[in-house]
Amino acid sequence: MCPTEQSHQHGQRAYLGERSAKILLEWLNSKARPKNDRVGKLLALNDDLSALPSTPEQLKRMLGAAKKIDGLVRGSKLRLMPVLDMTAGSSSGSRYWHVEWVPTKSTLQTRALVELLRLASSGSLSRIRRCGDSDCHVWFFARFRHQMFHSQHCQKEAFRKDPAEMARRRDYMRNERAKQRLQDQKGGG
């Protein structure tokens, strides 16, 4: 029915945010991507935002990152236009307007930036990661919160190359999970 949504038939389950990250990942993994790419910079800065600050230094770092992100997003001069698909669908019997916001200057980079902003506003930007295997480093969408590798093969490879480093990482992640639980409890109470 709708040409833009025709059968994205995934053999497996599509995870929340994963499908909308497709163009972003394509750009990140593109050989044509320049070193000082805005999209890449935004992702790096996002790492400084993800942890809840518990020291004045961390707070300063977080505020600094937020300021830089704001500057990079404004500086992109990204312009969007609405594209309507009135045939897209209906929800509980009533038709709705399917509005897609697309960049007026449509390049892989601008479309990737739109996806990045979408993922960032839904809180899933930290799911965009680089594979932890030093020989791979491909960008991927982490389906699970603690996923560090884009494939099981890479996970095995990384472990084979450096078991000590892997043990350190495991301890680090365990610590992070404990911290997160503590924060969740505080937030809930």
Contacts with Zn ion, residue ranges (CB under 5 A): 131, 133, 136, 150, 154
Judged by beta carbon, residue 115 or residue 133, the one nearer Zn ion is 133
Judged by beta carbon, residue 19 or residue 156, the one nearer Zn ion is 156
Q: Cα separation of 147 and 107, whole Å? A: 30
CB of 127 to Zn ion, least distance (A): 15
CB of 152 to Zn ion, least distance (A): 10
The dihedral of CA 50, 53, 58, 60: what is its sign?
Answer: positive
The one-character DSSP state at 139 is E
Judged by beta carbon, residue 105 or residue 153, the one nearer Zn ion is 153
Judged by beta carbon, residue 58 or residue 151, the one nearer Zn ion is 151
CB of 35 to Zn ion, least distance (A): 21
Surface-to-core class of residue 109, CB atoms within 10 Å of its CB (0-12 exposed, 13-18 middle, 19+ buried): buried
Judged by beta carbon, residue 29 or residue 87, the one nearer Zn ion is 29
CB of 183 to Zn ion, least distance (A): 29
CB of 151 to Zn ion, least distance (A): 5
Q: Cα separation of 130 and 143, whole Å? A: 13
Please report, for residues 63, 102, 107, 134, 159, the alpha-carbon distance to residue 50 in angstroms, rounded to integers and kept in the order given. Answer: 12, 27, 28, 23, 26
Alpha-carbon dihedral of residues 167, 173, 174, 180, nearest 10 degrees? 170
